Amino acid sequence: MVCPASNSSSTSDSDDQPLREIVDESSGDIATFLNCCSDADLIDENNFATVLRLSRKYQVNSLIEACEEFISNRCNLDALKADQVVTLLVVSNEYHLRREVMIKLINRIASETKNDLVRLKLSRLLPPQLHGSIVTTNLNMTQLKEIESMNGHLFKMNRSVTLYRRMACEMCKKITDSAYCEGCKKAFCKDHWTRNKCVSNYGQNMIDELRQNLVELEYE
């Protein structure tokens, strides 16, 4: 079996490229690769690793970009099991795909519960920077969810959970379990902070910042 040997970003002029014999790939993998060369929409989560590997091997840059496009815009990651997304992340990291691709995959994996993340045994499958990014993103998501429930306030927290202490509520003046808001600099019992929105935008600013920097990743 033969295949064009090319470093071109397009496959349209493959007829003009020299041919090289393929002796170390299965006919099924090559057929999948060639079909995706003709129609990149055939790339899916099942053949992604094969297509990406052969695209890099035979330097078909346009197909590498198509693999990135698949993750970025076509693949419904929420419909996949976490294990499948981890596999996509491992392959994407191996072939050093764009940062945007990595962030999307990390974001999906980090949305799993802490127990599910432990079950995935990520430290055995991923390099430290990716594993650390997933753990940090999971913590950021937990913190974001808690702050979004604070009715505009930004209460002191302990392990991403609102911290309550026995002190006087600003509204009812009772000594009770109250949370201190960093925005309006006042303490409220739960009954009153849920009914009275924070007068400052401190909490909303923190929400916006967390959303923009949800995934922390050192990746070039």
CATH number for the domain harbouring residue 199: 3.30.60
Cβ-contact 31, 3 below 8 angstroms? no
Given 106, 129, 148, which residue is the final one in a domain?
A: 148
Q: What phi and psi values does residue 17 have, to the nearest 5 degrees? A: -90, 150
Q: Compute CA distances 52 → 37, 120, 129, whole Å.
A: 11, 24, 22
Cβ-contact 210, 140 below 8 angstroms? yes
* Same-domain status, 89 and 141: yes
Q: Per-residue pLDDT tens for 136-157?
A: 999 999 999 999 999 999 999 9
* Same-domain status, 56 and 119: no
| pTM (two decimals) | 0.82
Edge-to-edge order in the sheet of strand 175-181: 165-168, 175-181, 186-189
Q: Give the per-residue pLDDT at 14.
A: 46
What is the spatial distance between Cα 5 and Cα 57, in angstroms, rounded to a whole number?
Answer: 9
32 belongs to a structural domain: yes
For 112, the token pair is 């799993």
Given 75, 107, 134, which residue is the final one in a domain?
A: 75
Q: Per-residue pLDDT tens for 95-116?
A: 999 999 999 999 999 999 999 9
Please name the residue that has the structure tokens 């979004």: 148
Query: Comparing C-alpha atoms, which of 38, 52, 37, 134 is closest to residue 91?
Result: 52
Give the count of domains, the chain. 3
pLDDT band at 171 (very low <50, low <70, confident <90, very high): very high
Given 130, 148, 166, which residue is the final one in a domain?
A: 148
218 belongs to a structural domain: no
Above pLDDT 90, what percent of the chain? Answer: 85
136 belongs to a structural domain: yes
* Same-domain status, 46 and 68: yes
Query: Comparing C-alpha atoms, which of 140, 143, 134 is closest to residue 116?
Result: 134
* Same-domain status, 33 and 101: no
Mean pLDDT across 22-43: 91
* Same-domain status, 108 and 121: yes
* Same-domain status, 115 and 170: no
Q: Per-residue pLDDT tens for 152-164?
A: 999 999 988 999 9
* Same-domain status, 43 and 70: yes
Q: What string of DSSP letters covers 190-212?
A: HHHHTTS--SSSHHHHHHHHHHH
* Same-domain status, 63 and 2: yes
Structural domain boundaries enclosing 201: 151-213
Cα dihedral across residues 63, 69, 74, 76: positive or negative: positive
14 belongs to a structural domain: yes
What is the spatial distance between Cα 11 and Cα 103, in angstroms, rounded to a whole number?
Answer: 29
pLDDT band at 12 (very low <50, low <70, confident <90, very high): very low
* Same-domain status, 71 and 86: no
